[in-house]
Amino acid sequence: MAKRIEWIERELQNLKDAGLYNRIRTLSSPQGAWLIVDGRRALNFCSNNYLGLANHPRLRQAAQEAAQRYGIGPAAVRSIAGTMDLHLELERRMAAFKGVEAAITFQSGFTANLATIPALVGKDDVIISDELNHASIIDGSRLSGAQIIRYAHCDTSDLQRVLSENRGKFPRTLVITDGVFSMDGDIAPLDKIYEVVQNYEAVLMVDDAHGEGVIGRGGRGIVDHFDLHGKVDVEVGTMSKAFGVVGGVVAGNAMVVEWLRQRGRPFLFSSAMTVPDTAACLAAIDVLEESTELVDRLWENARYFKAEMRTMGFDTGKSVTPITPVMLGEAPLAQQFSRELFEQGVFAMALGFPTVPRGKARIRVMISASHEKSDLDQGLEAFRKVGKSLGVIS
Ligand SMILES: *Cc1c(COP(=O)(O)O)cnc(C)c1O
């Protein structure tokens, strides 16, 4: 091995020794309640396909038809070679769906954060950020060069403390929170956060990646959930989770959106979503606007699964969403639990440090509208068996 990259071999070995090396399983089926995982049929408790849209016939058909009409790739960045009417249509429909003035799409939720944060604050400014915010918020914040101050998770009195200690010290202040926190399934108290923030000259931004298509009326997201229409300046979202496709979106104030078209670097220097992605997202909005059936089923499934798990004696933490953490404590136990579930035909991920704090390792079950009740019952039975054999429940 070339000497200049020997360090990488050592680091990879260190990851393996620490049990932190990612071994990624191979899927050879579409996303859905059941998957072919490493050649075996398994019940899917892992994906963010909340509504089962990732393999929905309407989305598949829309993607095919659009590919016939427009081809596949956008072939350049939108600001240089022109923008397809399809992308503009998605932005109009997204804004209408969410009840905001305007929306702009990006390649992913990750790039939406990398575009938005540095466009709103710079090196003289301050970002006040929930301590458990997503990695893409952290990276976007670092990229902006602004000073970053964290406040205690979902703690509005700590947020108030930080805001008042820093009042008048910076030209601009940006407060950022995740909407739904992906590891615990709790929801940011956005109504209370808004009340605190509006007493300061601060811009409020929420990243609703796990809320879009899940909370609010018919899946309209966290701003709708708390009835805060017109009050949250910037709503970042993703079409890679409940929407079942891929892509990011920023919705909100029309002037903020216009600014991102002029100054959002992943908009200016990276090509747009592909044609099939864009058309499939439009079809996802159609499905969501026509009926709340999928969102209702998602919640029915989540309520049923969580209640049964608690009755068996499992600790599902503080989740109030379909994200269901099964708290196990130490990482080796969580990993063994996940392996034994897989032996029972259930694919559910163990999460340990540094993804979650030490001593708070867990299995995270992602419930979907695509699960039938019989699927959930089968999953529950596997949890009961493994939980008993490992002494987690009695
Ligand atoms: C998943 C997630 C993202 C990234 O979304 P992608 O579209 O997959 O890039 C961003 N923010 C939060 C809070 C997320 O949970």
Q: Are 331 and 353 in contact, with CB atoms under 8 Å apart?
A: yes
pLDDT for residue 323 is more than 90 = yes
Q: How far apart are CA 185 and CA 171, in angstroms?
A: 34
What pLDDT, on the 0 to 100 scale, is given for residue 357? 87
Q: C-alpha dihedral over 185, 189, 194, 195, to 10 degrees?
A: -170
Give per-residue pLDDT as tens, 105-161.
999 999 999 999 999 999 999 999 999 999 999 999 999 999 999 999 999 999 999
Is residue 374 among the annotated active site residues?
no
Q: Ligand 1 within 6 A of 306 CB? A: no
For residue 170, report the phi and psi dihedrals to the nearest 5 degrees.
Answer: -130, 145
- What is the rounded distance in angstroms from the CA atom of residue 128 to the CA atom of residue 202? 9
Three-state DSSP class for residue 358: coil
Residue 1, pLDDT score: 75
Report the residue among 31, 110, 207 best suited for mutation to probe ligand 1: largest number of ligand atoms under 8 A from its CB: 110
Domain's final residue, options 290, 309, 325: 290
Whether 238 is in the pocket of ligand 1, judged by its Cβ within 6 Å, is: yes
Kindly report the protein residue whose alpha carbon is nearest to atom 15 of ligand 1: 209
Do 325 and 264 lie in one domain? The reply is no
Nearest residue to 134 (alpha-carbon basis) of 65, 190, 72, 210: 210
Phi, psi of 311, deg, nearest 5: -60, -35
Phi, psi of 171, deg, nearest 5:
-60, -45
**Substitution site in 49, 238, 351 for ligand 1 pocket (most atoms within 8 Å of beta carbon):** 238
Domain of 144 in residue numbering reads as 57-290
Q: For residue 152, what are its two tokens?
A: 């205690």
Q: Are 336 and 324 spatial neighbours (Cβ–Cβ below 8 Å)?
A: no
pLDDT digits (tens, 9 = 90+) for 184-229: 999 999 999 999 999 999 999 999 999 999 999 999 999 999 999 9
State the total domains in the chain: 2
CATH number of the domain where residue 263 is located: 3.40.640.10
Q: Could you give the C-alpha distances from 141 to 54, 206, 261, 304, 316, in angstroms and in order?
A: 30, 13, 19, 38, 31
- Whether residues 215 and 87 share a domain: the answer is yes
Same domain, 217 and 335: no
Task: Please tell me the pTM assigned to this model.
Answer: 0.96
Question: What percentage of the chain exceeds 70 in pLDDT?
Answer: 100
pLDDT for the residue numbered 20: 75
The pLDDT of residue 229:
95
- pLDDT recorded at residue 117: 98
Task: Say if ligand 1 is within 6 A of residue 178 CB.
Answer: yes
Q: pLDDT confidence of 358, banded at 50, 70, 90?
A: confident
Q: How close are the terminal C-alpha atoms of the chain, in Å?
A: 52
CATH number at residue 32: 3.90.1150.10
Peptide bond just before 266 cis, omega within 30 deg: no
- Per-residue pLDDT, 21: 81
> In the annotation, is 373 catalytic?
no
pLDDT of 12-36, one tens digit each? 999 888 777 888 999 999 999 999 9
- 75 in a structural domain: yes
48 CA closest ligand 1 atom index: 1
Q: How many residues does the chain have?
A: 394
Atom index in ligand 1 nearest the CA of residue 137 equals: 11
The tokens for 56 are 């929905």
231 CA to centre of ligand 1 in angstroms: 22
